[in-house]
A = this chain, B = another copy of it.
Amino acid sequence: VKTFLKAIGYTLSTLVVVALVFAAYGAVKIKLYEQTDDPTHLKEKLQYLRELQAAERLPHRPNIVFVLYDDMGYGDLGITGADAIRTPNIDQLAEQGARLTNFYSPSPVCTPSRFGFLTGRHAERGQLAHVVFPEGHAMSNFIKLRDANIRIPAYEITLPEVLKSVGYTTGMVGKWHLGDVSPSLPNDMGFDTFYGALYSNDMLPFAIYKNGNIVIESPADQTLLSEAYAKASTNFIRKNSESPFFLYLAHNFPHEPLHVRASRLGQSAAGLYGDVVEELDKDIGSLVAALRDEGVLDNTLIIITSDNGPWYLGNPGPARGRKGDTFEGGMHVPFIAHWPSKIQAGQVIDGLAMGTDLLPTILSMLNLPKPDDRILDGKSILNMLTNKQASPHDYLYYYSGKLLAIRDSDYKFVPKRGIHYGMATLPIGVAVPKGPYLFDMRHNGNESYDIQAHKPEVFQRFEQLYQQRQKSMADNRGGWQ
């Protein structure tokens, strides 16, 4: 009886604590946070874009095609080791261009990763370090309870806004996932044209938009989705090949649920996931053909990468973890850059780089100034891609809401309580009280062995860096200067 009462008491006390926490939370939060975008930063952004409009324009500016896959793993391509999936078109671009072996997505989940690719900044700066849900969804309210944003702030400077300001025609095809309400829709944030979905293909309602209008009602037939994106992309290229253009093609796949056009079903040795990736590869073939037909392939920078590591299916390669984790498997993704007139073929580059480098790289490529009112977290990797120079990064910072890891070329540091398990593990991410860790990234099983006791000076260096970075983010999260 005594042990029984003890067991019951243990259960009840846990329950009471949980109830009290929720009650306290509810008592403090008397109303939901409402996102308002600071008008000062918006004014500074418009000022910067006006400066860009007036800036000198280089001759022969390249077109830019940025292809972002959703939840594709590092090991899902032939060129990165897949032996059950054929990706000849992507492999060929890699062989004719440069491939990075230490490239990281800006975040291990969709929304903050896209924030990072398009703004050059960590999403924590814009309070958007989480997956965004459709307006009115229960999770959307939960996010508001946590005082976080539900759309990209209008004052953030995006890559399409930069390129539009300097005369590019900007088109987006595919998944946005940076908010489904104005003033944060694709057409609000720099795209002349938009064809695609506002968020992930597992969220409802799932409609396809052309600019502000629904052209395919929810639930859209997802077996036709990649094909529709491919067509919209080649149409955009054919229509705009005279002027410099920027195409952002953000596929919804291989994010679950998986769907593929009928003709590709059963074609791969890797099940439906493999069929989907092979379809995506085939569409790269059509895209390259369109660029070649229009005579612009040589002067087009094509970038191919993924927003984070693989979810339940897909191959992270020889890495620990998956989507949502700040272990390598959550953020180490393929990166291919193809630009025949500037990037030498056959390069396999091991320098550190992250998705936040995209905007600074393109500013550098077009000889444009950076904004001076805000920090960009990324750095230009143009010279790494075109001039065999070393990485501009001494360190990369792995954020997922919090700063959860830092790496340099040799080591990766994980702070105390820094192990965060993501959405491939549980529907909600959780942190476990492990760490701090110091991993040596040069050995097999590179996140297997904590060497902090053996390298106290290295550990100390990272610990200080971590504290500094934590302080600078706490003092100036938005990165205003």
A interface residues with partner B (beta carbon < 8 Å): 1, 3-4, 6-8, 10-12, 15, 18-19, 22, 26, 31-32, 73, 75-76, 81-85, 136, 138, 141-142, 144-145, 265-266, 268-274, 310, 312-318, 419, 421, 425-427, 430, 432, 434, 438, 440, 443-445, 448-454
A124 to chain B, nearest CB (A): 23
- 19 further A-B pairs in the complex, CB-CB below 8 A; given A7-B138, A10-B138, A76-B448: A1-B31, A4-B32, A11-B22, A15-B18, A18-B18, A83-B443, A84-B440, A84-B445, A269-B440, A269-B443, A270-B440, A271-B438, A273-B450, A274-B449, A310-B448, A312-B434, A315-B444, A315-B449, A316-B445
**Whole-angstrom distance between the Cβ of A186 and the nearest chain B Cβ:** 25
Q: Complex Cα distance A453/B81, Å?
A: 23
Given known A-B contacts A273-B450, A425-B421, A136 and B3 have beta carbons under 8 A apart: yes
Bound: A76/B22 CA distance, A: 44
In whole angstroms, how far apart are the Cα atoms of A15 and B26 in the complex?
A: 13
10 residue pairs, one from A and one from B, having the closest CB atoms: A315-B445, A270-B449, A315-B448, A271-B451, A7-B141, A84-B443, A271-B450, A271-B449, A83-B444, A4-B32
| CB nearest neighbor in B for A10 | B138
Q: Considering residues A136, A316, A449, which has the most beta carbons from chain B within 10 angstroms of its beta carbon?
A: A449
Contacts of A11 in B (CB 8 A): 22, 26
CB distance from A27 to the nearest CB of B (A): 11
Q: List 22 contacting pairs A-B, 8 Å CB cutoff, sorted by A.
A: A3-B136, A3-B141, A4-B141, A6-B141, A7-B141, A10-B138, A10-B142, A15-B18, A18-B18, A82-B444, A84-B449, A265-B453, A266-B453, A268-B454, A270-B443, A270-B451, A271-B451, A271-B454, A272-B453, A273-B450, A310-B448, A314-B449
Copies in the complex: 2
Q: Which residues of chain B are within 8 angstroms of A138 by Cβ–Cβ distance?
A: 6-7, 10
- Decide if B15 touches A19 in the complex (CB within 8 Å): yes
A4 to B140, CA, bound (A): 11
A267, closest chain B residue (CB): B454
- A444 touches which of B22, B75, B312 (Cβ 8 Å): B75
Contact for A15 among B12, B22, B313, CB less than 8 A:
B22
* Bound form: Cα–Cα A85–B451 in Å: 12
Residues on B with beta carbons closer than 8 Å to the beta carbon of A432: 425-427
Closest Cβ of chain B: how far from A118's Cβ, in Å? 28
Q: Which residues of the partner chain B approach A270 to less than 8 Å between Cβ atoms?
A: 440, 443, 448-449, 451
* Distance in angstroms between the alpha carbons of A271 and B26 in the assembled complex: 45
Query: Measured between alpha carbons, how far is A424 from B259 in the docked complex, in Å?
Result: 32
Residue of B nearest to A315 (CB): B445
Q: What is the distance, in angstroms, from A310's C-beta to the closest C-beta of chain B?
A: 7
